[in-house]
């Protein structure tokens, strides 16, 4: 079967990229080629591509901003669907409805423009809203579960479902979207009316903290490890003497030990080896098992 020809029945040619380097689509700037990378612009296009892949047993993988992702140096076989073309955001009173590919920064900006509070914690998180639901993204004491009202998903059988907050079984860096293989299409957030200047002040303050504490001048995938119960991953890594530790082009950030940065043309293998070294050293020294927060995909 000519996959390209079949995809062209659903999408325009410029929406289909062939042998596309994934390093162009991840915040880590790492990753080999995807056989096909497609960028749908409507929910209908997205669903059609997914149905085509499912029906023909073609592997497909969804990404948003690629901010929590480590892609193999060999790349990804099959079809990568990049959702950033679905980025509409609308506001109705204190409700925000956002398509899955809208960035958290864009949605937070909409909240600010409409003097809606509750989303300040997310304004500097680099991911998309679909990805944020997938992993219950959070920062500075806030999480997506605090503001989500309902979510429109596509299930594995190709059915559309509306899930309420309680249906999503939110936990730390988890929603049952992961377990059930749901695909988030649209998110409805419920915020509160607030004061524009106060919301802006909080956003500016949190973004200031982010700039001060995180290595934003290097490519990374954000926090590498989940927070172990009773500890902070960054502190354990620092106390194990690993700040500045390098393998190839990957390095434990000297600014925040919870981050691995692409310091000098790092490969996926460099990062995986460094993750393993960190896990081993921290376990050896403190008896704590560090679990990764970033997702590894590819061959």
* Residues tagged active-site: 173, 223, 293
- What separation, in Å, do the N-terminal and C-terminal C-alpha atoms of the chain show? 22
Q: Where are the beta strands (DSSP E) in the chain?
A: 16-21, 33-38, 60-63, 69-71, 76-82, 89-92, 95-99, 116-117, 138-139, 142-143, 148-154, 160-164, 183-190, 192-193, 220-223, 246-247, 250-252, 259-262, 295-297
Place of tokens 């695909």: 183
Q: How many CB atoms lie within 10 A of CB 254?
A: 14
Exposed/middle/buried for residue 257 (C-beta within 10 Å: 0-12, 13-18, 19+) = buried
Closest CA to 126 of 35, 259, 285: 259
Q: What's the rounded Cα separation, in Å, for the pair 149 and 152?
A: 11
Which whole-number Å values give the CA distances from 108 to 10, 22, 125, 283, 288, in the listed order? 32, 27, 10, 38, 35
**How crowded is the C-beta side of 67, counted as CA atoms within 13 Å?**
23
Tell me whether strands 138-139 and 142-143 are parallel, antiparallel or unpaired: antiparallel
Residues in the chain: 299
């Amino acid at each position: 079967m000519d996959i390209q020809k079949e995809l062209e029945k659903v999408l325009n040619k410029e929406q289909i990229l062939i042998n596309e380097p994934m390093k162009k689509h991840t915040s880590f700037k790492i990753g080999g080629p995807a056989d096909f990378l497609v960028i749908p612009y409507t929910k209908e296009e997205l669903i059609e591509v997914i149905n085509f892949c499912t029906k023909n047993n073609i592997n497909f993988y969804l990404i948003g901003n690629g901010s929590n992702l480590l892609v193999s140096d060999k790349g990804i076989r099959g079809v990568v669907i990049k959702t950033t073309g679905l980025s509409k955001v609308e506001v109705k009173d204190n409700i925000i409805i956002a398509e899955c590919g809208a960035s958290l920064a864009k949605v937070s900006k909409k909240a600010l423009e409409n003097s809606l509070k509750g989303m300040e914690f997310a304004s500097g998180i680099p991911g998309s809203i679909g990805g944020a639901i997938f992993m219950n993204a959070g920062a500075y004491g806030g999480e997506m579960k605090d503001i989500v009202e309902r979510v429109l998903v596509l299930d594995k059988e190709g059915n559309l479902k509306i899930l309420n907050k309680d249906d999503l079984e939110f936990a730390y860096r988890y929603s049952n979207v992961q377990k059930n293989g749901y695909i988030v299409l649209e998110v409805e957030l419920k915020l509160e009316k607030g004061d524009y200047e106060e919301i802006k002040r909080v956003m500016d303050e949190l973004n200031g903290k982010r700039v001060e504490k995180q290595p934003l001048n290097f490519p990374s995938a954000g926090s590498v490890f989940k927070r172990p119960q009773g500890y902070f991953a960054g502190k354990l890594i620092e106390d194990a003497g690993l700040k500045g530790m390098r393998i190839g082009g990957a390095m434990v950030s000297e600014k925040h030990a919870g981050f691995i940065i692409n310091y000098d043309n790092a490969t996926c293998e460099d990062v995986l080896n460094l993750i393993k070294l960190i896990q081993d050293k921290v376990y050896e020294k403190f008896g704590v098992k560090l679990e990764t927060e970033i997702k590894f995909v590819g061959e």
